[in-house]
Amino acid sequence: MSSAPRFAFAVSASDGRARTGVIAMRRGEIRTPAFMPVGTAATVKAMKPADVRAAGADIILGNTYHLMLRPGAERIARLGGLHRFMGWEQPILTDSGGYQVMSLAARNSVGEEGVAFASHLDGSRHMLSPERSMDIQALLGSDIVMAFDQLVPTTAPLDEQAAAMERSMRWARRSREAFAGDGALFGIQQGGLDEGLRRASAEALIDIGFDGYAVGGLAVGEGQEAMLGCLDFAPGQLPEASPRYLMGVGKPDDVVAAVERGIDMFDCVLPTRSGRTGQAFTSDGPINIKNARFADESGPLDPSCGCPVCATWSRAYLHHLVRSGEILGAMLMTEHNLGFYQQLMAGLRSAIADRRLAEFAAGFRARYLG
């Protein structure tokens, strides 16, 4: 572990604004563009860590908000950190808690110091601030720590968005000063859909200096067209030499379009959550396996897929499992969906390396959206 760098991002090829490369870290390499499965409560739901890894994930995401409430950051630290606790040895990125504290917690109250809130689990009172978020992420043993930020809807008045962005930049500086981990620290660009606010945010972050930069505040209901409009300018405002991470995105076609616009990292609950409700992603678009037409189909979820689920089980079997409420249904649907996403990322990486991304993306869209 000692010979590996703390954090080094090397781009090996680019195609238009898209690029492919590797982030080298102590716990392993992250091939970019990368998709990070979400492991909210110290588990990628319905998946064993070895199967997450086998699907092709180099890194997963953990949620500060959920883990601080249950089982508690100090407890995880006493038990040897999040990697050991959940049995995942590769890198983990942890979010700052800023998003969940606004979307999930009850009775939250935001001030310059941070956010006071009540747990959605038991109503207990807690506080998150840049300093406490850095503290918790260090206790978890996070490899990539996210700065603590404040989110407002993209539909909020511009002065509210500006104020939240400016506070987020003050919090980004406090996050940087409080950060004491031996991993990497990412800043988060805010500013809604406004190009000027995004530019001001990017400049503030660059002035502070981070290992990587996230585009935050998108994928919160603004719609794909508005999001892609923002991604036409936002990634270009961030340093070329650092990874750019689009938080909370997205659908497979969102991911392809964002890679075309220069994004290197993604996380989203979609493949795992959909897997638990019967939605499977396939090369020909999503399907709901509960649909009666699948009851007798002997073929795999996706004939073009190389995942272990498609190699072994039929649509008819998955239909039966999901209809019957069997846990194995959630397990296998999730494993396929994660495999589908990771195969998409591998396809994007090799298309960029071969400078045929436009062709790859057109072929993907023709089948997936066709």
Q: Which is nearer to its own copies, 45 or 365 (CB)?
A: 45
Question: Whole-number minimum distance, CB 328 to its own copies, in Å?
Answer: 4
b or e along 158-195 (b: 16 or more beta carbons within 10 Å of the residue's beta carbon)?
eeebbebbbbbbebbbbbbebbebebbbbbbbbbbbbe
Structure token digits, residue 3: 């010979």
Q: From CA 308, how far away is CA 317, in angstroms rounded?
A: 14
Q: Which is nearer to its own copies, 196 or 306 (CB)?
A: 306
The size of the chain, in residues, is 370
Pairing of strands 115-118, 125-128: antiparallel
Question: Whole-number minimum distance, CB 274 to its own copies, in Å?
Answer: 14
Question: Whole-number minimum distance, CB 132 to its own copies, in Å?
Answer: 21
Catalytic residue among 15, 58, 95, 149: 95
Owner of token pair 């038991």: 122
95 given a catalytic annotation: yes
Q: Which is nearer to its own copies, 177 or 326 (CB)?
A: 326
Catalytic residue among 58, 143, 211, 267: 267
Q: Are 90 and 60 in contact (CB under 8 A)?
A: yes
Q: From CA 290, how far away is CA 322, in angstroms rounded?
A: 7
> Cα separations (Å) of 122 from 8, 117, 126?
41, 12, 11
Structure token digits, residue 340: 């589908």
Q: Which is nearer to its own copies, 140 or 202 (CB)?
A: 140
Q: Are 82 and 76 in contact (CB under 8 A)?
A: yes
Which DSSP letter does residue 38 get?
B
Binding site for its own copies (CB under 8 A): 41-43, 45-48, 70-71, 75, 78-80, 85-87, 276, 295-296, 298, 312-314, 316-317, 319-321, 323-324, 326-328, 330-332
Phi then psi for residue 207, to 5 deg, are: -65, -40
Which DSSP letter does residue 199 get?
H
Structure token digits, residue 10: 């090397």
Q: Which is nearer to its own copies, 39 or 181 (CB)?
A: 39
Q: Which of 351, 341, 310 is nearest to 58 (CA)?
A: 341
Q: Which is nearer to its own copies, 53 or 173 (CB)?
A: 53
Question: Whole-number minimum distance, CB 293 to its own copies, in Å?
Answer: 14
Q: Which is nearer to its own copies, 314 or 350 (CB)?
A: 314
Owner of token pair 């190389």: 306
Q: Which is nearer to its own copies, 124 or 298 (CB)?
A: 298
Question: Whole-number minimum distance, CB 272 to its own copies, in Å?
Answer: 10
Question: Whole-number minimum distance, CB 157 to its own copies, in Å?
Answer: 38
What are the counts of helices (DSSP H) followed by strands (DSSP E) for the chain? 15, 16
Question: Whole-number minimum distance, CB 249 to its own copies, in Å?
Answer: 24
Q: Are 66 and 96 in contact (CB under 8 A)?
A: no
Structure token digits, residue 278: 């019967």
Question: Whole-number minimum distance, CB 140 to its own copies, in Å?
Answer: 13
149 given a catalytic annotation: no
Cα 41–chain centre separation: 14
Q: From CA 143, how far away is CA 27, in angstroms rounded?
A: 8
> What are the residue numbers of the active site?
95, 267
